[in-house]
Each structure stands twice: as C-alpha cells, then as structure tokens.
Amino acid sequence: MNTTFHFASVQEITPDIIDVIKRTYEGKPVSLYVREGETFVPEWQKEEVRRRDAIARNAPDYLLDCNTVIAELERELEMI
C-alpha cells in the first residue's frame, strides 16, 4: 500500500502527525521521500486542466468571457 502525504511546508509536519503515522504503520516498513521546492499538483487536476483546455480549443463558441456577458447585459438593461 502506498500513501502520500503532501505538506506546503515542513512546519506543517507536527509531532501529532508523526504520532499518527507511527501508530498507523506500527511494525510495517515505511519509506519517506522528500521533494524539495516542488509544488505538488495531483494528476487528476492536471488531467482536468488538459480536458478544459481541449474544450476551449475545440469549441470556443460555447465559452463566454465574463466581461463580455456583463457588457451585453448592461447594454440590454439600458434599452429597457
């Protein structure tokens, strides 16, 4: 079983977290890997960005710019 913990900084790793890890994995081998200076982005988030990018490239007519929508609504309200 692989479990990954991600922390924004080393200061987030409290003694309580270490104690929970010790209790959870008691008697089992554990490896710790430290990646310095990397911002972790889960693979599912990367895939979602790629999916949305493909939609934006393939169907720009269906995507509305918020500023354009607001400007059009303001024009319609002025006509009333």
**What are the residue boundaries of the structural domains of the chain, listed by start?**
1-80
Note the pLDDT of residue 8: 81
- Chain segment 23-78, per-residue pLDDT in tens: 999 989 988 888 777 677 888 889 988 888 887 777 666 566 777 778 888 888 88
Buried b (16+ CB within 10 A) or exposed e, 42-51: eeeeeeeeee
| Greatest CA separation for the chain | 74
pLDDT at 19 over 70: yes
Residues 6, 39: Cα–Cα separation, whole Å: 10
Task: Identify whether the C-beta of residue 56 lies closer than 8 Å to the C-beta of residue 65.
Answer: no
pTM of the model: 0.42
- Please report, for residues 21, 24, 51, 56, 66, the alpha-carbon distance to residue 14 in angstroms, rounded to integers and kept in the order given: 11, 16, 37, 42, 42
Note the pLDDT of residue 59: 65
